[in-house]
Amino acid sequence: MLPTTLLLVLASIVSAQSSDKSFLGESILRENQVQNVLEHRLASEAECKHIPTGPIEMTQCDYESIESVEEDLYKHLHELVATPFFRHFRVDLYRECPFWEENGFCMNRECGITTVDESEIPEKWRAASLSKVELPPEELRNSLPGCYYKESDYCFLDDHTEGDHVDLIANPEQFTGYSGFPANRIWSTIYNENCFGISELDLKAKVDSDDSPQSANSPTKSSLNEAQQCLEKRVYYKIISGLHASISIHLCHDWFNQTSGQWMPNLECFVSRVASHPERLKYVYFNTVLVLRAVARLGPYLSAYDYCSCNSETHEEDRFTLDRLNKVIEIAQNVGQFDESSLFKGEDANIVKEEFKVHFRNVSRIMDCVGCDKCRLWGKVQTTGVATALKVLFEMDEKALDPSTNSNLLTRLEVVALINTLHRFTESLVYVNDFRRMWAEAPNDESQKLIKEAEKALTDALQITPSPDPLLLRTHDATEIPSRRDLYRLWKERFWSFISLCRQCTSDCLSSCRRVVDSILELVHSSFQSFKTDKSAAPHSDL
């Protein structure tokens, strides 16, 4: 067996040879990845002109095509999601976690959300009115306590009679302090227990028909089926990883500086979580194109949708909403070139698709286990948005998308979630440009320090992953094993947060104390368990 060092060198050479010319090349083991991301200059014009050259898999455009419309797309989306129709979202944040006992107690006040009284919501968007129009007949849906799904759905949808109305603008996605074991368990469950077991290495593995002698002339039916399933698995992993990376970008951009008491971008956070792992940024582009394609297909339906709040006699607000939406649809039709027809083909297509649905439905249910209300809110919004895009691409033909024959194709919450999710992904790419400006203005010694720290963090993560095959080191970061210092710091922060909370409100202090103790005991138990168990391929561990 070759020494580990030699295998790593060989892997690097192979990766370098197979990488493309994009600033987000196919190679994961490469040099200067932080600089490649942060020193990249945006394209002003699309280069591929819808010629299927990639390099975004399953698309007919490249990164430059998205960059060329990024500014206009974000401007229109940013104005669109601030309109009454798209800023109000009804969500049930108090449904029990179905997978483990979750205390749902976040000490940080930033975890909390501000709800909107239903009397302030236009009557046609209230629960009673929507339930009459949008809820499918019982025989067409599978119901669980507080939620349901139809056979065509890729997620669980909250029951319209449950939950609260939330103003998404008043509750932005930002750093809340929700981290450590609770957040790690969410992502670990999503990746390890509800995925296909795919790593970033598997994304690069191409099915080569020349590998076996019998396939030299004509591939067997079984090999074609395996290749097709591999494609769906890669797509699934990219969607989840891209969602994770987009959330990381938002948290790093809207970071609370405890020293100054101000919200500001955190360049160190972005370098360690995204820039040093360019493949994660690739998947944000991938998700952006996927959702744009769904919006493009939904163009006629969305243009005919009723966005009227019936609170304005002049309807100027409604015309503004439709105008901005039509501009988004126009951009989506130009660059949303995702090839959904290449998925779920072959004799096992229905089986693979059903497995895909079950996995993604589980992801939407895992959101009920998030212990931070604001994190749970945006997790639900974005999983619903991506699930809506998947349903549009893989479950609906042109006849179903015809608004004249199927006016109730999507619920209001699905439409709201779809547009807000596209806004999240586009905003992530815009935020990357902010980090690029920070990088350009940073002193050289600070830049070098950030690079060294990122390299050290990556090296430490690789060392935590004991594997006989060094190529497996090219997976997501290994689950972080907390040190004693980290545990002490975490307990200290929780203790003083608890004291501060009690000063503000003493009525629930005793019950809160019990929950804090339970949480700490759970953390201690899990931390010691992590020392006993080897950690293999795992998700982004930085949340």
Burial of 492 (C-beta count, 10 Å sphere; 0-12/13-18/19+): exposed
Residue in this structure with the two tokens 């998925």, named with its chain if needed? 343
Residue in this structure with the two tokens 């982004």, named with its chain if needed? 540
Task: Say if CB 350 and CB 232 are below 8 A apart.
Answer: no
87 labelled as ligand-binding?
Answer: no
DSSP 341: G
Task: Say if CB 80 and CB 317 are below 8 A apart.
Answer: no
Give yes or no for a cis peptide into 55 (omega within 30° of 0): yes
SS (H, E, C) 176-225: CCCCHHHHHHHHHHHHHHCCCCCCHHHHHCCCCHHHCHHHCCCCCHHHHH
* The two three-digit tokens of residue 455, written as one number: 């390299």
Within 8 A by CB and 6+ apart from 201, the residues are 28, 471, 472, 474, 475
Task: Say if CB 381 and CB 90 are below 8 A apart.
Answer: no
Distance from C-alpha of 116 to C-alpha of 89, rounded to nearest angstrom: 10
Q: What is the SS3 assignment for 148?
A: strand
Measured N-to-C along each axis, helices 484-504 and 509-532 cross at an angle, to the nearest 10 degrees, of 170
Closest CA to 106 of 516, 542, 526: 516
Distance from C-alpha of 516 to C-alpha of 494, rounded to nearest angstrom: 8
| Residue 104, Ramachandran bin (φ over 0: left; ψ between -120 and 50: alpha; else beta) | left
DSSP 49: T
241 labelled as ligand-binding?
Answer: yes
Rounded to 5°, the CA angle 22-25-26 comes to: 140
Distance from C-alpha of 201 to C-alpha of 467, rounded to nearest angstrom: 13
Closest CA to 364 of 343, 388, 340: 388
Catalytic member of 372, 502, 505, 513: 372
Task: Say if CB 442 and CB 308 are below 8 A apart.
Answer: no
Distance from C-alpha of 185 to C-alpha of 519, rounded to nearest angstrom: 14
DSSP 401: T
**Taken in order 389, 390, 393, 397, is the CA torsion positive or negative?**
negative
465 labelled as ligand-binding?
Answer: no
Catalytic member of 269, 310, 375, 502: 375
**Taken in order 425, 431, 432, 433, is the CA torsion positive or negative?**
positive
Task: Say if CB 215 and CB 209 are below 8 A apart.
Answer: yes
244 labelled as ligand-binding?
Answer: yes
Distance from C-alpha of 25 to C-alpha of 55, rounded to nearest angstrom: 8
Tally of residues, the chain: 543
Q: Is 372 a catalytic residue?
A: yes
Task: Say if CB 275 and CB 37 are below 8 A apart.
Answer: yes
Q: Is 269 a catalytic residue?
A: no
Distance from C-alpha of 120 to C-alpha of 124, rounded to nearest angstrom: 12
- Binding residues for FAD, as ranges, are 176, 187, 241, 244, 273
Q: Which of the residues are catalytic?
A: 372, 375
- Binding residues, as ranges, are 176, 187, 241, 244, 273
